[in-house]
A and B are shown apart, each in its own frame.
Chain A
Amino acid sequence: EVQLVESGGGLVQPGGSLRLSCAASGFTFSNYWMHWVRQPPGKGLVWVSRIKTDGSITSYADSVKGRFTISRDNAKSTLYLQMNGLTAEDTAVYYCASNLVSSGSFWGQGTLVTVSS
Chain B
Amino acid sequence: QSVLTQPPSASGTPGQRVTISCSGSTTNIGSNTVSWFQQLPGTAPKVVIFSDNQRPSGVPDRFSGTKSGTSASLAISGLQSEDEADYYCAAWQDSMNGVVFGGGTKLTVL
B99 x A100 contact (CB < 8 A):
yes
By DSSP majority rule, is chain B's interface helix, strand, loop, or mixed? strand
A88-114 interface code vs B (CB 8 A; 1 in, 0 out): 000000010100111101011110000
Sort chain B's interface into a size bin: 20 to 34
Question: Which residues on the A side are within 8 Å of B90 (C-beta)?
Answer: 45, 47, 100-101
Closest to B39 in A: A45
Report the separation of the CA atoms of residues A50 and B96 in the bound assembly, to the nearest whole angstrom: 12
CB distance from B55 to the nearest CB of A (A): 10
User: What mask results when residues 47 to 76 of chain B are scored 1 for a CB within 8 Å of chain A, else 0?
Assistant: 100110010100000000000000000000
* Contacts between the two chains (Cβ within 8 Å), count: 67
Query: In the assembled complex, how far is the CB of residue B42 from the closest CB belonging to chain A, in whole angstroms?
Result: 10
Q: Is A59 among interface residues, defined by CB-CB distance under 8 A? A: yes
Interface size class of A (residues with CB under 8 A): 20 to 34
Q: Shortest CB–CB separation between residue A33 and chain B, in angstroms?
A: 11
Minimum C-beta distance from B47 to chain A (A): 4
Which one of B44, B50, B102 contacts A101 once the chains associate, using CB atoms below 8 Å? B50
Shortest distance between the CB of B2 and any CB in chain A (Å): 7
Contact bitstring A64-79, B, C-beta under 8 A = 1, else 0: 0000000000000000
Q: Which residues of B contact A (CB under 8 A)?
A: 2, 32-35, 37, 39, 43-47, 50-51, 54, 56, 86, 88, 90-92, 96-104
Q: Nearest 6 pairs between A and B by C-beta?
A: A47-B99, A105-B47, A44-B104, A59-B97, A45-B101, A107-B44
